[in-house]
A and B are shown apart, each in its own frame.
Chain A
Amino acid sequence: MSDDRIEGYARGLFEIARAEGSIGAVEDELYRFARSFESSDALRSALTDEQIPAAKRLAIVEDLLGGKATPTSTQLISMVVGAGRGRDLPAIIDRLVARASSAQQLELAEVRSAKPLTADQQTRLAAALAKATGKQVNLKCVVDASVIGGVVATVGDTVIDGTVRTRIDQLKSRL
């Protein structure tokens, strides 16, 4: 898909979410869904396979998110998948999140950890990252088992890595 079209979808989804008054929760849910979409081959192939009827793809989305995410998030993802743009879902959502962060004058901070962070941990980590980078951050937490343990935070071009995976990799390099 062209860059303009991705930007158009992102702007549309952002405006809908903002109009619904749930932009914070929606962008958070969409961001997590995008990361799951990227890491799961089965989910990606199910939502992008054009041999599967659109109704069935929408049913898959409904099964995955129904009751677990806000109706707005579910409807926005269903809209993109139903339009046959499932392949571009991560790019569209990343643009939407970037747009939402810019609207709040925040810097997107992606945090990956093996276990989910509590709300308190997220708050304290956002404050710590703001202090470390000098920027207010829009924290997006992703559970990623590949980090094994610890946390890695990416704020713009800055990466703060405290994962067990990286330490094992360093050990491997030394060996």
Chain B
Amino acid sequence: MSALGIAIGLRIAAEGKPDANGELVTSHPLLPESAEIIYGGIASLLIFWAIYKFGGPAIKKGMAARTERIQRELDAAAADRSAAATEAAQIRAAKGDIDGERRRIMAEAEQQAAAVLTDGRARLAAEVADLESRADAEIAAAGARVGDELRAEIARLSIAAVDHIVTGSLDDATHQELIEGFISRVGAAR
């Protein structure tokens, strides 16, 4: 049952009675007179029909446009969400790469540090060996030098002593003996 039927029914039930002047007096406090209801109802129907006839397409169009806009917004939101998800995936992948790179760099650094340490120890050992070798050589050279100097000093003193002794011991007889010996050797040379 429509709203109009209900209104008409209510109006018939509440129909008033003419007064002394023969005028219809509505006695119901809420419902109007029947004619008013009929005219009002028809007018309402006409208005509803006009609204439906002329405003309906616009409303439909507006609703469709709104629906389309909302759909676009939904699509855009979905696209944004998808892009965000992709970006999040990339970031997660990048983070994973960064972690891997960090681990690789750390491993490489540890490897290099170990290599440097090994190399440094080897070089240090070589330098220590070289220093020891040079120290040994210098000690040996110093020993030899001291020995040489000592021998040279002994030789010098010996020479001085020989010089002194020989010079002091050469008397005239010895000189003559040397000269005669020389003459004899030269004469016998050929």
Interface residues of A (CB under 8 A from B): 113-115, 117, 121, 124-125, 127-129, 131-132, 134, 148-151, 153, 160, 162, 164, 168, 171-172, 175
The contact sample of 14 A-B pairs, CB cut-off 8 A, is: A113-B179, A114-B170, A115-B176, A115-B179, A121-B183, A128-B187, A131-B189, A134-B190, A150-B181, A162-B186, A164-B178, A171-B162, A175-B154, A175-B158
Q: Are A125 and B167 in contact (CB under 8 A)?
A: no
Q: Are A149 and B174 in contact (CB under 8 A)?
A: yes
A160 partner, pick from B151, B159, B166, B186, beta carbons under 8 A: B186
Give the contact-size bracket for chain B: 20 to 34
Q: Are B170 and A149 in contact (CB under 8 A)?
A: yes
Q: Find chain B residues with CB under 8 A from A113 CB.
A: 175, 179
Of all chain B residues, the one with the shortest Cβ separation from A121 is: B179
- In the complex, B128 has a CB within 8 A of chain A: no
A124 partner, pick from B163, B166, B170, B183, beta carbons under 8 A: B183
Q: Are A132 and B189 in contact (CB under 8 A)?
A: yes
B185 partner, pick from A114, A148, A162, beta carbons under 8 A: A162
Q: Find chain A residues with CB under 8 A from B187 CB.
A: 124, 127-128, 131-132
Q: Are A148 and B162 in contact (CB under 8 A)?
A: no
Q: Find chain A residues with CB under 8 A from B49 CB.
A: none
Q: Are B162 and A168 in contact (CB under 8 A)?
A: yes
Q: Find chain B residues with CB under 8 A from A164 CB.
A: 166, 170, 178
Q: Find chain A residues with CB under 8 A from B162 CB.
A: 168, 171
